[in-house]
Amino acid sequence: MAWAGIVTKILLVIVCSVGGYLIAGQIQQLSTLTWAPWAGVGIGFSFALIAIWLVKFIRRIPLKVLIGGTLGLLMGLLIARLISYGLISVENTTIRVATYVVLVCIFGYVGMVLGSIKIEEMGWPSWSWLQRGGTKGGSLKILDTSVIIDGRIVDIVQAGFLEGVLVVPEFVLQELQHIADSADSSRRVRGRRGLDMLKKLQESDQTEVRIERQDFSNLQEVDAKLVALALRLNASIVTNDYNLSKVAEVQGIRVLNINQLANALRPVVLPGEVLRLHILKEGKEHGQGIAYLEDGTMVVVENAAKLLGQEVEASVTSILQTTGGRMIFTTLKSPEQNHRH
């Protein structure tokens, strides 16, 4: 829970600050200085903030990258240690220690970077149970391009209705970048919006966002890669693409469709209910007027084509649920009164 995280951070700051105060006060060389304990408080407080920042940063790094980087770091330090045995013959202690520190920094850094990169090439399928914490069906949820561009996923996450790890495949990132670099202005705006939404998700404390670098070179379509990745990781797919939803469901993949969620949350309108509507345009059939509810639901009003731009009262006659959303059919409650308006 969010409050538990806040309490933990506060306790960490208090412990580090008090510890810094006590340590600085016990150092013999500083014991005569009255300001030394308070400097220790500042140093302890700073270390606590650094630790909090490190946790927030490390949360965004995939587990196997962390393990690979750690293994690479240990190997680098081991190599540096072995090389340092050749420095025993050096009589100057300063040169020996400085050289050892340089070797540790160089080989430790190289090992950590190479380990985090090369671990991706191993492609071990057993990583998935580590990432899901061993739970079947897992908490991994793969985001497709459409749902990132849509943006409603950010509000859903911030409201706490979507838990677990959100996985963004690297090939989805590449598609977003391709759309953002498009020559078409409308596609370019959509692509940039998608990148902005992804950044907001990464900055949110409500969930963890992980970039998945697995790719499927034998597949060309992004949707096919999403399905293959979901099967490999035993993950769900979050989308608002109708066709992708059906293809994934056929293969036994759990799908969270944002459009279905939006339809479920729309206000219930019952036959006979009276709505106050603003007629915006003519309908496809003769005499029909079209209006919209606040949530975007289309309302067809019979015999309202001549009332464009006016507000009318209409009674609900029927409701039609389609794959594209919900349509409400109505008739004017009092045609004579509406004509006077």
Question: Tens digit of pLDDT for each residue in 287-331?
Answer: 899 998 876 788 999 988 888 888 899 999 988 876 666 788 999
User: Which of the four pLDDT bands, split at 50, 70 and 90, describes residue 236?
Assistant: very high
- The pLDDT mean for the chain works out to 81
Average pLDDT over residues 52-59: 75
User: Which of the four pLDDT bands, split at 50, 70 and 90, describes residue 33?
Assistant: low
Question: Tens digit of pLDDT for each residue in 200-221?
Answer: 998 887 888 888 888 888 888 9
Q: Which of the listed ranges 14-18, 63-67, 125-129, 280-284 does the model predict with the highest average pLDDT? A: 280-284
Q: Is 217 exposed, middle or buried (0-12, 13-18, 19+ CB in 10 A)?
A: exposed
Letter string b/e over residues 166-197, b meaning 16 or more CB atoms within 10 A of that residue's CB: bbbbebbbebbeebbeeeeeeeeebbbbbbeb
What pLDDT shows up at residue 143?
A: 94
Q: Which residue has the higher pLDDT, 241 or 116?
A: 241
**pTM (two decimals):** 0.49
Q: Tokens standing for 22?
A: 């006590």
Give the chain's domains with CATH numbers: 2-124 (no CATH), 128-264 (3.40.50.1010), 268-340 (2.40.50.140)
What pLDDT shows up at residue 215?
A: 83
Q: Which residue has the higher pLDDT, 2 or 174?
A: 174
What pLDDT shows up at residue 164?
A: 82
Q: Is the pLDDT of residue 54 over 90?
A: no
